[in-house]
Chain A
Amino acid sequence: MTTRPGISKAELAEKFREFIDPDFVITDNETMKPYECDGMSMYCEMPLLVVLPETPAQVQRIMRLCNEHRVPVVARGAGTGLSAGAMPHREGVVLSLAKFNRILEVDPLARTARLQPGVRNLAISDEVARHGLYYGPDPSSQIACTIGGNVAENSGGVHCLKYGLTVHNILSVEMITAEGDRVVVGNDALDACGMDLLALMTGSEGLLGIVTEVKVKLLPKPEIAQVVMAGFDSVQKAGDAVGGIISAGIIPGGLEMMDGYAIVAADDFAQAGYPREAKALLLCEVDGTEEEVHEHIEQAEALFRKLGATSVRTSQSEEERALLWKGRKSAFPAVGRISPDYYCMDGTIPRRHLAHVLLEMEKMSEKFGLRVANVFHAGDGNLHPLILFDANVPGEFERTEAFGGSILNLCVEVGGCITGEHGVGVEKIRQMAVQFSDQELQQFHDLKAAFDPRGILNPGKGVPALRFCQEYRSLEYKQHNHDTVEVAHG
């Protein structure tokens, strides 16, 4: 926890303006307003000020100043995060990396790209497509989200069972430490001597350093990809079919499941031709060489039929493949159309507990009086229940949060975790106490102090203060106490 900053807003802004274009040291509330939240807009806070540096040297000077005066610093990319990880600190600086938006170098032979952190995820694949290459991780927000944010969250996407998460697809990061040192972790090789600091940085939610450059690996574009869509009359059967595919030795490029609610909503939205009567839908994409895809698609079709699929359809063209995916990819906005608001959860479970977890979720849905639609990265066990609610109805968001909390507790209970890819941020900080013991959480705090002795980097996020954990553990399932989290990140 930081103590109060030892410098006024005006003084700090003045010092920043000595080395940063004054137009990019923002202090007025109106211009700062867009920075008050990230993609998790239920959590808002106005910062002390916003600063947009352009060079790593400027970031170094910002960090040295903030460290000297104990001013909290919250790094921000595109602000698409879904756990309020980039929510400002009211006494701190928002350090936006928006101006770090250049692709510095592409090396087609080595299959690498050197990027500034503000480069958008999809822009990487667009840029390298002419070399027959692409960047693997493809989170749903890939049009907007940045590679720096992907490193902070260890982003995945629909292809991560086969192609891995961000941590598997980066070679090095240059970062500025809390104390203003400029260091590189990782290198052009596949490993570096000593403890793996690159892995530690990945997914650290802006609590350990400010990333100013990223080197990523690129993959050769598969010759061909085809998707098999299979409808089932029960979630259990669809779950078994997922197991069947993997037991057959096939690792699909993508393997997604949707429940009945999501199928209808997505089909209404995208007219993808989904089997609307099905209780569960699988989309199984196989990619690779033509021979391999042909062999595996045949196996998958036969297997789904054998395991009780009520309908099986395989894409016969790129257009058809895109259409089948369109439904899944637009599941969130599709659900948004049938409800004023929705709240997306992100727990991960061992796949064998899927039917049990969905059944329990149905019971919770009744108990809380809120509908829930499910989309699911079936290959890797990552659930995205979408709780439908109306923020204008008093008390409904609080009920939604409590419902969400119960889902996460259930995920931990069956051996899973509270977040697969969205991060802890502020949003799931209370549930950390369910997944980790006090000793483990204390180890996290000690680890952070190794990078950030004064605790200025994104304080109040990611790891809860221990004094609030016991309280939450005793409250879990009963009621949720909004004051707890207010105090915890205050």
Chain B
Amino acid sequence: MADVSEGLRKQILNARKKDQKLNIVGGGSKNFMGRAADRHADTLSLAEHTGIVEYHPVELIMTVRAGTRITDIEAALSEEGQCLHFEPPCFGDGSTLGGTLACNLSGPARPWSGSVRDQVLGIRLLNGKGEHLRFGGQVMKNVAGYDVSRLQAGALGTLGAITEISLKVMPRPAASMTLVQDMAMDDVIRYMNQRAGESKPITGAAWVDGKVYLRLSGARSAVEATAEKWSGEVMEQGEAFWQQLQHLQHDFFTGDGPLWRFSIGSTAANPELDGPWLIDWAGSQRWYRGQADSARMESMARSAGGQVSLFRGGDRTDEVMHYQPEALQTIQKRLKESFDPDGLFNPGRLYSWL
């Protein structure tokens, strides 16, 4: 529970003087993500920059230092009957909120409860000039200035070190229930989207190994009444299933083979690639264990209205994120330069050209 931002600021200023690159690291649980880290860079560690700065349960708002572990945040929220509605995936105990935002990671409830980016209200950020800046705020609605807070989602720390995050928290649902039934992959896309289009308390829709799983959460009466109406058997270990999915601990994810993430239109036909698939987010997030030509996969993802990235494993010296058109590359390079003129932070981590 300490504010070490001044030390971090000095480290950045020193690095700037010596033209020393910096890899930003929180708990280190997501080191496998993005392109391989620069081996010659120093570590800028946020691990000690921890603690809940403010938490007002009645306001549904919490402000924490970026190095605070997700487990600690969830423990504090749980005492007040609240939770992180975006269900942050944690790859080990070390996962921090700062890393979760930088990687834009959200769990199975994402299509209904929003992503980590959706919940973020404000941040503090150390830019490449060692300036400690504050953007957004601690209120739900704030349109003063550009939304630099949400810009960080998915930037993998290339714009600066996030030091503090204010975010919206929500009440824990009073009841939850999971319905499971057999279904072929060809049928499941339409089924999940139809269910998602009903005004029912659905908060999860996933498919794996020939079975579709739907989660209902909210007021007990609504959950029970919906379970009565919808087909599928009530799953005893429902909660455990969603947790395995949230943290990528389901059997589907084991093994060292490459793990591809297709983030595509929810109704798109599944890309025709051999190998096992797991479908989440009612069709918007599809995981693929297999290997194919990456240009071919990108073209398939594009036809399906989205993108593909090499989430884990495989060759991490090559690009791991979907191709960006020239004009967007130019804008992102200039944005990077505006925050980090000397290119100190996470060089090449997001793209080879950034």
A residues lining the B interface (CB < 8 Å): 107-111, 132-133, 153-154, 156, 160-161, 164-165, 167-168, 177, 181-183, 185, 187-197, 199-200, 202-204, 208, 220-223, 243, 246-247, 249-251, 288-292, 294-296, 348-352, 377, 379-382, 415-424, 428, 432, 435-437, 439-440, 443-444, 446-451, 453, 462-463
Contacts and interface: CB of A to CB of B under 8 A. Distances in A.
Contacts of B151: 195-197, 199-200
A165 B139 CA distance: 13
B144 A424 contact: yes
Nearest to B338: A446
Given A196-B150, A199-B150, A291 B196 contact: no
Given A190-B111, A351-B58, A450 B331 contact: yes
Contact of B139 (A348, A428, A436): A348
A380 B193 contact: no
27 contacts: A109-B193, A167-B150, A187-B307, A189-B307, A195-B152, A199-B153, A200-B151, A220-B196, A220-B198, A251-B171, A288-B218, A289-B201, A289-B225, A294-B221, A350-B139, A352-B58, A381-B59, A415-B138, A418-B144, A421-B141, A428-B144, A435-B145, A443-B131, A444-B146, A447-B335, A451-B334, A463-B145
Interface in B120-175: 127, 131, 133-135, 137-148, 150-155, 158-159, 170-172, 174
Contact of B143 (A161, A203, A296): A203
B142 A420 contact: yes
B110 interface: yes
B218 A292 contact: yes
Contact of A295 (B150, B171, B221): B221
How many B residues are at the interface, by size bracket? 35 or more
Contacts of A380: 139-141
B327 to A, nearest CB: 4
A182 B190 CA distance: 33
B60 A432 contact: no
Interface in B257-279: 263-268
Interface in B305-321: 305-307, 309, 321
Contacts of A462: 145
B284 interface: yes
Query: Considering the complex of A and B, which 3 residue pairs feature the smallest CB-CB distances, nearest first?
Result: A188-B305, A199-B150, A188-B265
A223 B135 CA distance: 38
Contacts of B138: 350, 415-416
Given A110-B193, A191-B263, A160 B111 contact: no
Contact of A246 (B60, B284, B334): B60
Given A190-B110, A196-B104, A348-B137, 17 more contacts: A108-B197, A160-B141, A183-B331, A188-B266, A189-B263, A190-B281, A191-B117, A192-B307, A288-B199, A290-B225, A295-B220, A296-B219, A415-B138, A420-B142, A436-B134, A444-B146, A447-B335
B144 A196 contact: no
B57 interface: yes
A189 B284 contact: yes
A168 B114 contact: yes
